[in-house]
Structure 1
Amino acid sequence: MRAAVFKRALGRLVVEQHPDPSPEAGELLIRIARAGICGSEIHATSHPARPVGGDTILGHEICGEVIALGKGVERFRVGDRIVPMPYVGCGRCSACLAGKPHLCPGARLGIVAGYCEYTRVGQNECIRVPAEVSDEEAALIEPLAVGLQGVRKAELAVGNRVLVTGAGPIGLAAAFWARRLGASRVVVMANSARRKQFALGMGATHFIAQQEVADATEAVRDVLGGAPDVVIEAAGVPGAIAEAIAHVKPASTVISLGLCWGGDHFCPSAALMKEVRLQFSLCYARSDFEYCATVMAEGDHRPRIMITATVDFDALPAKFESLRGPSADCKVMIAPGGI
C-alpha cells in the first residue's frame, strides 16, 4: 500500500510503499476513505517539546470501510463504514468500561494510522457510520467529539454566554456545540478575521479579530452584554489560560482544550480571587463519537464547512508543509484512494 510517512531526519512527509497490514484477533482491517490533517500533527512534527520519533505514519481523524475481520470480531461486518477512536486501553478498568480508554492507566495511542491506504483498528474502539453521513463528515467526528466533550464539561445552562478563544477546528467545534447545547450568545475570538466565516457558519453569534480591537475584554463584553459565563480556551498558546481567566465572570468556568506543547504560566491568585473553576479536557468517550454521528445523520451538516481542501498522496507533502504557517485552509482532508 501507499503511505505518507513523516521522516524525522528529513523533517517532512515522504510517500512510499509499505506492506499491506493484516488484522489480528479482535481487529478490523479498513480501507481509509478520508483522513483529516490535525493541527496537533503539524505541531508534533515541528515543536522541539514533542518530537515525533523515527519514521511515523500519522493520522487519527479517519473514516474507512471494513474489508477484513480478525478472529473473534462480532460487532462489525465487511462493508461497514466505521470511525475509530485513536486511544487503546486495557478494556477492563473503570475508565475503559466507561468508554474513556484515554484515561486508562495503560492507555496508549492505538494502531490507527491514517495517512495510508489501509489500517488496522480494534473493534472496541470503533463506531459504525450512519448512511446519512458522508465519508468527509465522518472524518470530522474525532475533532467534533473533542469540542463536544469540552462543552459538556462546562455544564452549560440554557442562556449562558460563551467565549471561545481560538478559531481552529477544535474552537469551531466548541462554538458549534455551545450553541446546540443552549448558549444564547457565543463569540469566537482569534488573532485575525481569517476564520470569521467558519465561526459564524458553525453557529457563533459573533466574531472578534483581536488585532482589530483596542481592548479585547471590552469588545467581548460589548457583544455578549457582559462577561462570559464560560470561556473555552482552544488557542493552545502561552498566555491563553491567563487570558481566559481575565475574561470570565466571577464564580464561572474556564475549559482548556488548547494543546500547548511548551511551558505556560498564569497567576493562581487571579483565578482564586474570582473563584474560577478551571477544567482541562483532553478528549472524549465513545458516546461522544456516537452523538456526533447522530447529529449529522439527523440533518445538521454545518461542520462540513470546515473542510477547505481534499488532497491525494501526490499533493499531500506540499499541503502538509503549507499548514505550518498562516493558511486560508481550515480542515484539509486526505483521500488515499485518490480524488
Structure 2
Amino acid sequence: MRAVLFEEFGGRPEVVTVPDPVAPPGGVVVRVAATGLCRSDWHGWRGHDPDIRVPHVPGHEFAGVVASVGPGVTRVRAGDRVTAPFVYGCGRCPVCLAGQHQVCPHQSQPGFTRWGSFAEYVVVDNAEVNLVPLPDEVDFRVAAALGCRFATAFRAVVAQGRVAAGEWVAVFGCGGVGLSAVMIAAASGARVVAVDVSDQALAMARDCGATRTVDASDRADPAAVAAAVREATGGGAHLSLDALGSHDTCAAALRGLRRQGRHVQVGLLPAVLGPPPLPMDLVIGHELEIRGSHGMAAHAYPELLGLITGGVLEPARLVTRSITLDEAPEALATLDRPGAPGIRLIEL
C-alpha cells in the first residue's frame, strides 16, 4: 500500500510503498476513504508522544470500508462502512466494562502506538468494541472528521463539561476541535464566546453559533484575554474549553471562569512544554472544576450520529479543504503554522 512515512522525528515525511497490513485476531483492516489532518499528528511527528516508534505512519481519524476481518470477528464483515475512535479499548478490563473505553489502560491508538491512517489501509484492534457502523446518510468526509476532533469536542462539551442551555461557554482556540465545540455548545442552547488570534477563525466561529468573539492577537497576557472573556460574559464563563493546548490558553481559560465554573482541557499539553503555570489559587478560592477529555468510546457514537442525521449538528460545514495523499507530507510538516480555519482531510 501507499502510505505517508517518516523515519525520524521531525524528518521529512514521504509517500512510500509499504506492505499491506494483515487483520490480527479480533481485528479488521479498513480501506481508508478519508482521513483527517490533526495537530496531534504534528505532535507525534515532532516526537512529543513517547509511544511512537520510528519508522512510523501517522493518522488517527478516518473512515472507510472494511477490507478484511481477522479470526474471531463475527459482528462486522467485509464491505461494511465504518469509522472508529482514535482510542481502541481492549473491551475486557474493568475500565472498558464500565464503558470508559477512551481511557482503557490497555488501549492502542492508530497513528501513535501502531501505524495509522495516512495510508490506503489501517488496522482496527478489538474491532467488535471499537468499530462504529456508519449510516448511509453520513459520508466518509464527515465521518473522518468525527474520529478525533468532532467526537472529542462532543464528549468534552456534553459529558465532561455538562453544558446547560443558557450558560456561557468560552472556547479557546478555533481550529477543528474548537469550532466543533462552538457548534455543539450553541446547538445545546448555550451562549458561546470564541477566542482566537485569527479573524478568519473567529468569523467561522460566528458562523458556527458563537454570539461573542475575543481577538487575542493584541492581548499578549493571558490575564488580559481572561478579562475580555469575563467582560463578554458578564462575569465569567460557566464552562471553558482549551481546544488549542498551550500554557497561555489553559491559564486564560481558567481565569476567564466565574466562581464554581468548569474547565475542560482538550488541547494537548505535551511534557516537552513543561508543566503549565496554573492559577491554583483561583481553583481553590473560586471552587473551580478541572477535567480532561480524551476522545469518545465507540458505543457513545449513536447519539452523535443521530444528531448529525437529524440535522441538529452539521460537521460537514467544518470541512474546508481536501488534499491528496501526495500532498499530505507537506501539510503534516506545516500543521503548526497559521492556516485556513476548519478541518482539512486527505481523500484516498
TM > 0.5: yes
1:235, distance to aligned residue in structure 2 (A): 2.2
For 1:311 and 1:235, locate their aligned partners in 2 and report how far apart those are by CA, in whole Å: 23
- Among 251, 256, 265, the residue aligned to 1:242: 251
RMSD over equivalenced CA pairs, Å:
2.2
Between stretches 58-67 and 93-102, larger displacement belongs to: 93-102
Q: How far apart are residue 173 of structure 1 and its match?
A: 1.6
Specify the alignment match of 2:91 in structure 1: 91
CA distance in 2, matches of 1:19, 1:289: 32
- Indicate the SS of the match to 2:164: coil
Q: How does 1:231-270 map to 2 (within 5 A)?
A: 231-261=240-270, 262-263=273-274, 264-270=276-282
Mark the runs of 5 or more structure 1 residues left unpaired by the alignment: none
Asked whether the equivalents of residues 62 and 83 of structure 2 are also in contact (C-alpha less than 8 Å), the reply is: yes
- Match 1:139 to one of 137, 144, 153: 144
Shift, 1:58, TM fit:
0.7
Tell me whether 83-92 or 227-236 shows the greater mean CA deviation. 83-92
1:174 aligns with 2:181: yes
1:89-136 deviation line (CA, Å, top 9, x unaligned): 332222212333232222232546201111221322111011001110
* One-letter amino acid matched to 1:101: H
**The one of 283, 293, 303 aligned to 2:315:** 303
Q: Which amino acid aligns with 1:255?
A: V
The answer to whether the 8 Å contact 1:213/1:219 transfers is: no
Aligned partner of residue 259 in structure 1, secondary structure: coil
Secondary structure of 2:28 counterpart: strand
Q: Number of aligned pairs?
A: 335
Select 1:314's aligned residue among 326, 334, 346: 326
Q: Does 1:156 align with 2:156?
A: no
TM-superposition CA deviations, 1:34-89 (whole Å, max 9, x none): 00011111122226575943111111100010122222222112221100223233
> Which segment is superposed worse, 107-116 or 202-211?
107-116
User: In structure 2, how many angstroms separate the alpha carbons of the residues matched to 1:105 and 1:68?
Assistant: 27
**Cα pair distance change 1:90/1:69, threshold 3 Å:** closer
1:302 shift after superposition: 2.6
Q: Could you tell me how far apart the structure 2 residues matched to 1:160 and 1:154 are?
A: 11
> Hey, what's the Cα distance between the residues in 1 that align with 2:178 and 2:92?
33
Superposed displacement of residue 255, structure 1: 1.2
Cα distance in 2 between the residues matched to 1:158 and 1:79: 41
2:335 is matched by which residue type in structure 1? L
Whole-angstrom CA distance in 1 between matches of 2:9 and 2:219: 42
Structure 2-normalised TM-score? 0.89
8 Å contact kept, 2:85–2:295: no
Instruction: Give CA deviations for 1:271-321 in whole Å, capped at 9, x if unaligned.
Output: 111111111222222233332222222224632222222111222222222
* Amino acid across the alignment from 2:229: V
Separation in structure 1 between the aligned mates of residue 107 and residue 29 of structure 2, nearest angstrom: 21
* Partners of 1:279 and 1:240 in 2: CA distance: 15
Q: Distance in 1 between matches of 2:41 and 2:86?
A: 13
Following TM superposition, where does structure 1 have runs of at least 4 consecutive aligned residues deviating by more than 4 angstroms? 47-52, 212-215
Percent identity over paired residues: 29
